[in-house]
Amino acid sequence: MKYIEWFENHGKKHAKIMGKLKNLSDDEVIKYFRFENMVKEEPDFCPLYKDNKKCHDYEELNCYLCACPNFRFDDNGVRKQEEKTLYSYCSIDSKDGSQYKGEDYIHQNCSGCIVPHKEKYIKKHFSRDWFLIMKDVILSK
């Protein structure tokens, strides 16, 4: 699956949940997206939920910004790097992120980074429109 397909499908799932939560305050919405609640209330939001597994080893994991607003991608490639095609990267160059390098490609590896999963970060960047928060993620518009 290409990044863009996952991104668009995920945004639709997010919007559907937000439609159910329109009567909640912003703080209540953010609390709703806590991992423990999402596993129980929204088991189809993430494929890892069926195994009660987190994508990041963080006790207070919040899934509101699943897909990070600092992630940048282009399914056609961003640029050449080390004679490989770079498809994705972190716009803030998080010290906890890394790159996965294959034979002819490079992808951002966000598994060590929890920046967008902290509620303080979510509150700072909060919008009920997930696509608005993610507006800079797709490079090939």
11-64 per-position pLDDT tens digit: 999 999 999 999 999 999 999 999 999 999 999 999 999 999 999 989 999 999
Specify the pLDDT at position 1.
Answer: 79
Q: Is the pTM of this model over 0.85?
A: yes
Domain total for the chain? Answer: 1
Query: How many residues in total does the chain contain?
Result: 141
The predicted pLDDT at position 141 comes to: 57
| Number of CB atoms found within 10 A of residue 70's CB | 21
Q: Residue 83 is encoded by which pair of tokens?
A: 């004679």
HSE-CB of 127 using CA atoms within 13 angstroms:
10
State pLDDT tens for residues 85-130.
999 999 999 999 999 999 999 999 999 999 999 999 999 999 999 9
Determine, yes or no, domain membership for 141: no
Establish if 20 belongs to a structural domain.
yes
Domain around 21: 3-133
140 part of a folded domain: no
Confidence category of residue 139, pLDDT binned at 50, 70, 90: confident
Give the integer Cα–Cα distance in Å for 24 and 83: 50
Q: How confident is the model over 74-84, as pLDDT tens digits?
A: 999 999 999 99
| Residue at 139 is within a domain | no
Torsion of Cα atoms, 38 then 40 then 41 then 47, to 10°:
60
